[in-house]
Chains A and B, each alone.
Chain A
């Protein structure tokens, strides 16, 4: 029995807006529309929505998920192809983590420079340091 958008959204624990967004992003499509124009989904759409959610939690963008779904539906593809995509995603995530650790370290340094007293903003070492960094960037161009 076909499911309405509200029902399938409820089962998948997403909002109806999310499903409409997925549809605009060409990730899912209703199997049919009712006489009244309501979207109707087959039960296997639930599996697809859960797949999308899970992939998002693993850091995949919607564009990447679309490619993954295409790969999943490609009879010539194999497990190894999916593994390559997952491995590349892991590399990208690790690179982001590394970059964020550098940012966090820079913030630690700035925080340690500030004695957190009642000095006016003109004497704030964090603001001064950020302004110095901007100045360096400008002269570096």
Chain B
């Protein structure tokens, strides 16, 4: 599984949330590939997978959150995906 967080460069809110979200993702899926992408540097890729608001989180190249989730929300989304109920 690959999780990509598209962040706004310079956003303190994004910077503060990243650690907790990454920990939540690794807790549910220890082998997860976690990437943090500067939305401006990766604009073509962001557009390709349908990111239109920031910050956003994509799971396996699919936009799962169009604003920052809480670690709990991310954990739940990952669990739903793992069991095929989401």
| Residue A70 interfacial (CB < 8 Å) | no
- Cα distance A87–B10 in the bound complex, in angstroms: 12
Main secondary structure on chain B at its contact with chain A? loop
- Residue A80 is within 8 A (CB to CB) of chain B in the complex: yes
Tally of contact residues, B, Cβ under 8 A: 15
Assess whether A92 is in contact with B52, with CB atoms less than 8 Å apart: yes
Chain A residues with CB under 8 A of B54: 84, 87-88, 91
Chain B residues with Cβ under 8 A from A87's Cβ?
A: 8, 39-40, 54
Let me know if A80 and B11 touch, CB within 8 A: yes
Assess the A91–B52 pair: CB atoms within 8 A: yes
A84-B54, A98-B47 in contact; A91/B39 too (CB < 8 A)?
Answer: yes
Residue of A nearest to B14 (CB): A84
Which listed residue, B11, B47, B51, touches A84 by the CB 8 Å rule? B11
State in angstroms the CA–CA spacing of A80 and B9 once bound together. Answer: 9
Shortest Cβ gap from A57 to chain B (Å)? 20
Chain B residues engaging chain A, CB cutoff 8 angstroms: 8, 10-11, 39-40, 43-44, 46-48, 50-54
Residue positions of A touching B, CB distance < 8 A: 80, 83-84, 87-88, 90-92, 94-95, 98
